[in-house]
Structure 1
Amino acid sequence: MSAAPIAYVVDDEPDVRQSLALLLRSVAIDVEAYASARDFLASFGGAKGRPAVLLLDVRMSEMSGMTLLECLRVEHPWLPVIMITGHGDIDMAVKAMKLGAKDFVTKPFKGQDMLDRVQEALRDSPSREDAAVAPQTKGPDARLDTLTAREREVFDRLVAGDANKTIAYDLGISIRTVESHRANIMGKLNAKSLVDLVLVSLER
């Protein structure tokens, strides 16, 4: 019998910790919750062969989630991390992904969306901590191949942080056309936000 998965929740807001714990336990995922990054580091000794994921708040006192993420890339690179923030932006998402985060979620989030992201991270989690020590590579995201040439142009400009108005002017098309392309891109890439598009771009 395979070991039950476990999720570590690190967030300085008690309500967030409680709601995430209830959500995850409802689908038989064990939960350990911590009020600070320091508390987590002091207690964490590895998942002992269990599929695991860390849900980590970006902004916390004493030690931020980004600082903890940097520490984990050295000490526990096998552990998939989902960053959570109420103040997400593209630059922060890019930095988190470059530091090794698996995903980036902004508050408020829908319960099912969070569960889907957690389950995906658990599927990618190695059954043993040392399984992820070897370098891993990812091929280009095949979903990008579904975009038309014009949609790909708009996609590249969106993830670069350009506004719809700027994209429309530079490409010689209307703002409404840009918005239409953006909607098509979001649908084809199963993206719910601009941050999701950035994550797809970083996987290329």
Structure 2
Amino acid sequence: MTPHAYLVDDDDAIRDSLSWLLESRGLHCLSYPSAEDFLAAWDPSLAGCLVLDIRMDGMSGPELFDILCERGSTLPVIFLTGHGDVPMAVSALKKGAFDFVEKPCNDNELVDRVIEALKLDENRRVAASDADSVNTLIARLTCREREVMELVLAGKLNKVIADELQISMRTVEVHRANLFEKMGVRTAVELAQLLAGKR
């Protein structure tokens, strides 16, 4: 399936201008005037990323994001936010959203983030296409990185991990960064999603 940037915004002008912008950079784009419309079109095989307005009539962006997470969607999500929506966007980041961009946004910055999100989705799909790929990734971890991974998955903070393994917090941060890079994830939430069903 061809990767697309899926654009969900109830403002016709923003939808049109962002669609044009993305397509001018050679990206495939599909746009939807509401979260409900996108949800009706969504299926687990969709490839690409989701550019999602936070405030819309009807279902809000975060509500759609929560539903997609419940359904196991792995599409990276970039939220479009007004200034007052930043706390809501930060909350979404903690739940695993890819990023947020404030409106009015720098066109090139937004397109660059979309390209990064598309690349992340492609990497995830390549990894997921091989049933043994996650095990292959885990096999590349050092023993210490695996120990850190287990404690990260248990929801433990770096300080607690450092205490349990009797190493410095800085060493934990290095191991954590290395294991995230090797596993192709950016957050503990993404790591847990990658390993779901493999444990």
Measured against the shorter chain, the TM-score band is 0.5 to 0.7
Please tell me whether residue 108 in structure 1 is matched to residue 104 in structure 2. Answer: yes
- Higher relative contact order (Cα pairs below 8 Å, separated by 6+ residues): 1
Give 1:29's match in structure 2, choosing from 1, 12, 27. Answer: 27
Q: Contact between 1:24 and 1:31, CA under 8 Å: does it hold in 2?
A: yes
1:131 corresponding residue in structure 2: 128
Report the alpha carbon displacement of residue 93 of structure 1 after superposing the two structures with TM. Answer: 2.7
Q: Read off the aligned partner of 1:124 and give its amino acid letter.
A: L
Please tell me whether residue 38 in structure 1 is matched to residue 39 in structure 2. Answer: no
1:168 corresponding residue in structure 2: none
Q: Read off the aligned partner of 1:68 and give its amino acid letter.
A: L
Q: Please state whether the residue corresponding to 1:41 is helix, strand or coil.
A: helix
Distance 1:75 1:65, change over 3 A: same
Q: What TM-score, normalized to structure 2?
A: 0.59
Q: Tell me the matched-pair count.
A: 136
Please tell me whether residue 87 in structure 1 is matched to residue 83 in structure 2. Answer: yes
Q: Read off the aligned partner of 2:69 and give its amino acid letter.
A: R
**Unmatched 5+ stretches in structure 1:** 138-198
Distance 1:75 1:129, change over 3 A: farther
Q: Please state whether the residue corresponding to 2:83 is helix, strand or coil.
A: coil
Report the alpha carbon displacement of residue 89 of structure 1 after superposing the two structures with TM. Answer: 4.8
Give 1:64's match in structure 2, choosing from 38, 60, 67. Answer: 60
Distance 1:26 1:74, change over 3 A: same
Q: Read off the aligned partner of 1:14 and give its amino acid letter.
A: D
Please tell me whether residue 11 in structure 1 is matched to residue 36 in structure 2. Answer: no
Report the alpha carbon displacement of residue 77 of structure 1 after superposing the two structures with TM. Answer: 3.0
Q: Over aligned residue pairs, what C-alpha RMSD do you find?
A: 3.2
Greater helix share, structure number: 2
Q: Please state whether the residue corresponding to 2:18 is helix, strand or coil.
A: helix
Q: Contact between 2:52 and 2:77, CA under 8 Å: does it hold in 1?
A: yes
Report the alpha carbon displacement of residue 88 of structure 1 after superposing the two structures with TM. Answer: 4.1
**Unmatched 5+ stretches in structure 2:** 139-185, 191-199
Q: Which runs of 4+ in 1 moved over 4 A?
A: none
2:113 corresponding residue in structure 1: 117
Q: Contact between 2:44 and 2:73, CA under 8 Å: does it hold in 1?
A: no
